[in-house]
Amino acid sequence: MTDSRIPADLPDHIQHYIDGAFVDSVDGDTFDVLDPVTNKTYTTAAAGKKADIELAVAAAKRAFEEGPWPRMLPRERSRVLHRIADIVESRDARLAELESYDSGLPITQALGQARRAAENFRFFADLIVAQSDDAFKVPGKQMNYVNRKPIGVAGLITPWNTPFMLESWKLGPALATGNTVVLKPAEFTPLSASLWAGIFEEAGLPQGVFNLVNGLGEDAGDALVKHPDVPLISFTGESSTGQLIFGNAAPFLKGLSMELGGKSPAVVFADADLEAAVDATIFGVFSLNGERCTAGSRILVERSIYEEFVERYAAQAKRVKVGYPHDPATEVGALVHPEHYDKVMSYVEIGKTEGRLVAGGGRPEGFDEGNFVAPTVFADVSPDARIFQEEIFGPVVAITPFDSDEEALSLANNTKYGLAAYIWTNDLKRAHNFAQSVEAGMVWLNSNNVRDLRTPFGGVKASGLGHEGGYRSIDFYTDQQSVHITLGGAHNPTFGK
């Protein structure tokens, strides 16, 4: 391993960004940030607490109540968002380099996330200019129309798996609609988030509109959720954390949008294009190091093709290239943090008692340190197995056979989660009926996870609350006010005569 994998000009320390200035925590506290390839500390970050959140929220509230941002025309805000997108695109290589180093994502996949972040801003920049609000008319009697108004300070809490892109997914619509924000990025991966401040300043975002507080979820995240001046919380992360946020937000009746965990099924019928299905389901669970909420981590295969599928899948999984994140040839890099590595490896050991190990099962050869896990495949997994039911969030997959459409549907729906589902069949009637019946917020037919930003993104059951994406994001980040106008004579029932 050479120093070539370490980006130039890494910061010695990462600060908060509050009211247009980089600052340390009020109490001076910090936490260590680790490089996932060596698990050594490479920088420290300011550890935000309640006092820091209060400063950030006060700045955002002031910018909302007194500043120009909520009062700008949609076209004016759109221009700023397009400049943000231009800057992100122009710096995609640097962003990807930092993201890959901090998170362990393969550099080619990190580059894709940086470009997607720019597209998120561009999409919402266009959407707020193009959007039309509803009007309802009763000729000669009444007209009703809807005003959309920004709500206030949006609290954004983001995960560590694709940090910069997922931050953009919330920042784009929150800012486009005229809100101000406090971002609390994941403590494992604060590096790329620290770039937003410079990007926003250069693009012309007014002071105080964007604020960032680093810190642990139980300190900074908790204080943000409980702050009475933050009416909106958008959270992406684990279902158990989502439950805590739900409870803590309840006394304030906050607007909540939560995209939580997943244990998504990929259902492969005998009439499917087998080669395409193998390729897609390999990518679906091993891309982004398996650390993706929509991963198709349960593969259900019709029995007549089951053995062939397992054989081909295992052989291809063994060929997936594990390597250092900065190497363009790498397909699976290092997991984000030693705590998460230990969790994933504990599931690998559990899996050895619950299924037939056909690929992986430990550290890849030649990687004696760092958070490297060989792509791991278990076949013949029972639906009551923990590796079938519980989210692992790593490069580990369970394969299970089925004998009928009814059994496939029962197996697909047999978890507490319901985020995504992938269906592989060339029977048109079956495809539509199965998609309708599967308990998932999003379904892909004969496709891996290809997103159209106009569509709703979200899950059912333990996988989430609410939807974002397209107009659903506009709905979440705005109040919809109905205005009613009488056009004819006043229609008043008369009391008291």
Contacts of 4 (CB under 8 A, 6+ apart): 326
**CB 438 within 8 Å of CB 449:** no
Looking at 99, 187, 259, 468, which residue is catalytic?
Answer: 259
Sorted by sequence, the CB contacts under 8 Å of residue 406 that are 6+ apart come out as none
> Helix, strand, or coil here: 312?
helix
Q: Burial-class residue 173 by CB neighbours within 10 Å (0-12, 13-18, 19+).
A: buried
Of residues 323, 402, 399, 306, the one with CA closest to residue 359: 399
Joined together, the tokens standing for residue 382 give 């029972």
Supply the DSSP string of 240-294, one letter for each residue. HHHHHHHHHHGGGT-EEEEE-----EEEE-TTS-HHHHHHHHHHHHHGGGG--TT
255 torsion bin: left (phi>0), alpha (psi -120 to 50), beta (else):
beta
d(CA 180, CA 209): 5
Residue 259 known to be catalytic:
yes
Q: Which of 31, 48, 20 is nearest to 196 (CA)?
A: 20
Evaluate whether 374 touches 388 at the Cβ level (below 8 Å): no
Catalytic amino acids?
259
